[in-house]
Amino acid sequence: MTKRIHYCYLLTRTLPEGGCRYYVGIRTAPKYRTPESDSAYMGSGRAIRRAVKAHPGAFSKTILDVFDTREEARAMERALVGLETANSKWSYNLVTGGEDSGLASEETKARISAANLRRFEDPAEREKTGAASRSVWASLSPEEREAIGVKRGATNRRRYQDPAERKRHRAMLKERYADPDYKTRHAESVSNVNRSREGRARNSAGNLKRYANETPKQRAARIEKATERNRALAQDPAWLEKNAAAVRRPETRAKLSASERKLCEDPAERERRSARQLKRYANETPDQKAARRQAISEGRQRAKAERARVQREVQWILAALLLNKYAA
């Protein structure tokens, strides 16, 4: 069996005004082919492919080194193509080398961001892109989806180790959410996912997996942030009214009731809820305990008064019916 060859190469194009532009890449040569006989291959990057198409025959290819494994070729590319190279106006490399790093230059990030924003301003383009993404994702096996998720997670974790990258990402999100149209589209997209059982199950599984990998410090920070957000919502009259109106709808109440009944049929769920309540009661201060008991007492009194009012109304209706019957 013929062994495949992995090599690192350099493409150069001499400019009419002097100087040259270049591109560094790696290649796994097809079977029965040596690096020298693979001269037709000129790279897979978007910028270099456009340049080769725009300037046919203007590039010269130099084989820098040949390796037994692709990992060794990646290591050389990673050493040659750093951020300084990716930021250079003479380089066709848009990201750092090594395939697994993927750090783009600031100029490249700006161009990609501007192009994406222009493209997603068109509703038809957004729908087309979304349909294509859903189709591709649906065609993947669970193992392939899991592998993509792991790779994306590793990339994001590596990227967020850079304070400048975190700051840039927060600024980008803040700018996006300042646009009412974007907020509306995002809310609609989230609602569409949550309407399906598969979407809710997928989100739940992802959250549970993420929570399981949290450190105690991260978990405490997440809980504190969620608590602050809930407290702020509880003080917002508009949100309270909106939430109360949603709960008052018959279909919502029926759905909540069915969900609760289904959950409470599980002995483990009942035990978990009981343990959680006991733990919460054990951590209450005397003032909190008194306030809770007062709220329960007031709720029972209101319920009792409501039942008495309904009973009186029923009695009046029955009395009116009897009077009408005998009067006739």
Task: Tell me what the mean pLDDT of segment 183-204 comes to.
Answer: 83
Task: Tell me what the mean pLDDT of segment 107-112 comes to.
Answer: 73
In a domain, 208, yes or no: no
Per-residue confidence (pLDDT) for residue 1, from 0 to 100: 44
In a domain, 304, yes or no: no
Per-residue confidence (pLDDT) for residue 326, from 0 to 100: 59
In a domain, 38, yes or no: yes
In a domain, 76, yes or no: yes
Find the distance separating the first CA and the last CA of the chain, reported in whole Å.
107
Mean pLDDT score across all residues of the chain: 83
Per-residue confidence (pLDDT) for residue 11, from 0 to 100: 92
Note whether 35 and 66 are within 8 A (CB): yes
In a domain, 168, yes or no: no
Per-residue confidence (pLDDT) for residue 98, from 0 to 100: 61
Examine the pLDDT at 285 and tell me if it is beyond 50: yes
Note whether 15 and 21 are within 8 A (CB): yes
Number of domains in the chain: 1
- Specify the long-range contacts of residues 116-125, CB closer than 8 Å, at least 24 apart: none
3-state SS assignment for residue 26: strand
65-79 residue pLDDT tens: 999 888 898 888 888
**What secondary structure letter does DSSP report for 89?**
T
Per-residue confidence (pLDDT) for residue 159, from 0 to 100: 76
pTM here? 0.39
In a domain, 204, yes or no: no
User: Which residue range forms the structural domain that includes residue 73?
Assistant: 1-101
In a domain, 85, yes or no: yes
In a domain, 285, yes or no: no
